[in-house]
Amino acid sequence: MKVSILQFPGTNCEYDTQYAFEKLGATTQIIWHKSESIPSDTNLLVVAGGFSYGDYLRSGAIAKFSPVMKAVTDYANSGGKVLGICNGFQVLTEAGLLPGALKRNDSLHFISKFHHLKVINNNNVFLEKLNKNDVVNIPIAHHDGNYFIDPDGLKELEINNQILLKYTNASGEAQNPNGSVDSIAGICNKEKNVFGLMPHPERAMELILGSDDGIKMLQGFLK
């Protein structure tokens, strides 16, 4: 299993992501944003979290113009699996690979804490190791995590089972930390090969650090 991880100026989660997947037995390679290709042996491409280009203009808005993003788009359109975490989710929405947009948190404050998530749909490679309605405890760390999509787009997400995760409390009841439409924390595309979420499963790999619920979230990619 080969995981390629994108690195932009300002990315700060690429090494956490590398550690997480290597802990699960994958081999990894970090790809600089000026690369014009994705390694041909890539089984999963991860757009890691952080603050690409300092989040200037708008989170992910400059990163979408990086040379590597054409290769990312080609890889996704040919069926390759892509996972965007936090800033990576923002980049994928800006690039048009996932629907919707990420706005400033309702509180206008940066949020950094563990938060519970409920599995809404697990009929996809990402969450197939979890059960529908499972609740996991995963860190969030974002200033622009407020997911927005218009009513028609939301209906389409629901019809196509593209809503993967929602913010909840430990009992699975809605608890929205940032104002996201319908408490959405993660989605996928219609083809279910491009995934995005604001929480950080790569930071939930060790019980001693608060949670290892990220293990089952990422294991689905390991075939």
Active site residues: 86, 200, 202
CA distance 195 to 188: 4
Strand ranges inside the chain, DSSP E: 2-7, 27-32, 44-47, 81-85, 101-103, 111-119, 135-142, 146-148, 163-168, 184-188, 194-197
Residues sharing a CB contact under 8 Å with residue 217, sequence separation 6 or more, in sequence order? 126, 127, 129, 130, 136, 138, 201, 204
Amino acid at 143: H
Q: 3-state SS of the chain: helix, strand, coil percent to 5?
A: 25, 30, 45
Its sign, for the CA torsion 15, 17, 23, 29, is: negative
DSSP labels for 195-209?
Answer: EEESS-GGG--BGGG
Of the candidates 8, 10, 19, the one whose C-alpha atom is nearest the C-alpha of residue 218 is: 19
CA distance 51 to 159: 32
Question: Is 28 within 8 Å of 3 (Cβ atoms)?
Answer: yes
